[in-house]
Amino acid sequence: MDAGEEWQSARLHTSARILRGLRTAVSDLEAVAGILDDISNACRRGFFTPGEDERLWAWFASFLSVREGLWEIVDGVSDDLGHDLCQIQTRNEWRLAVLGFTAAALLVRMDKLLVGQVARTPPTQRKLNEACPLHRIPRKQYTRIFESLTNPDNVLLVLQALNFSRSNRNKLVELIDDEAVGEFVRALPELEHSIDPGIVRYLFRRLRYHWHALRRRGASAKQKSAFHLLEASGRMVAEIVDSGLPNRVEAVIDQIEKIVRPGDVLITRHDFAASNLFLPGFWPHAALVIGTEEDRARMGVEVSEGQCKRWRGDKCVLEADREGVLFRSLRQTLAVDSLVE
**Residue 42, pLDDT score:** 93
Cβ-based neighbours of 16, under 8 Å, separated by 6 or more? 95, 99, 180, 181, 184
**Residue 307, pLDDT score:** 79
Over residues 139-149, mean pLDDT = 88
**Residue 22, pLDDT score:** 95
3-state secondary structure of 165: helix
**Residue 226, pLDDT score:** 46
Over residues 94-107, mean pLDDT = 90
Q: What is the mean pLDDT of the chain?
A: 79
Over residues 82-92, mean pLDDT = 72
Higher pLDDT, 228 or 78: 78
Q: Quick one: pLDDT band at residue 240, thresholds 50, 70, 90? A: very low
Distance CA 91, CA 77 (A): 14
**Residue 205, pLDDT score:** 54
**Residue 244, pLDDT score:** 45
Distance CA 285, CA 151 (A): 49
* DSSP secondary structure code for residue 332 in this structure: H
Find, among 227, 246, 68, the residue nearest to 144 by Cα.
68
pLDDT over 80 (residue 86): no
Cβ-based neighbours of 88, under 8 Å, separated by 6 or more? 81, 94, 97
Higher pLDDT, 180 or 159: 180
Cβ-based neighbours of 69, under 8 Å, separated by 6 or more? 18, 22, 25
Q: Quick one: pLDDT band at residue 3, thresholds 50, 70, 90? A: low
**Residue 264, pLDDT score:** 85
Q: Among the listed ranges 96-110, 181-195, 249-263, which one has the minimum average pLDDT value?
A: 249-263
Q: Among the listed ranges 72-76, 185-189, 227-231, which one has the minimum average pLDDT value?
A: 227-231
pLDDT over 70 (residue 207): no
**Residue 262, pLDDT score:** 84
pTM: 0.61
Distance CA 246, CA 69 (A): 65
The percentage of residues in the chain with a pLDDT greater than 70, rounded to a whole number, is: 77
Quick: pLDDT tens for 286-322.
888 888 888 888 888 887 877 777 777 778 888 877 6
Beta bridge partners of 338: 269
Over residues 213-237, mean pLDDT = 52
Domain boundaries, the chain: 3-197, 250-340
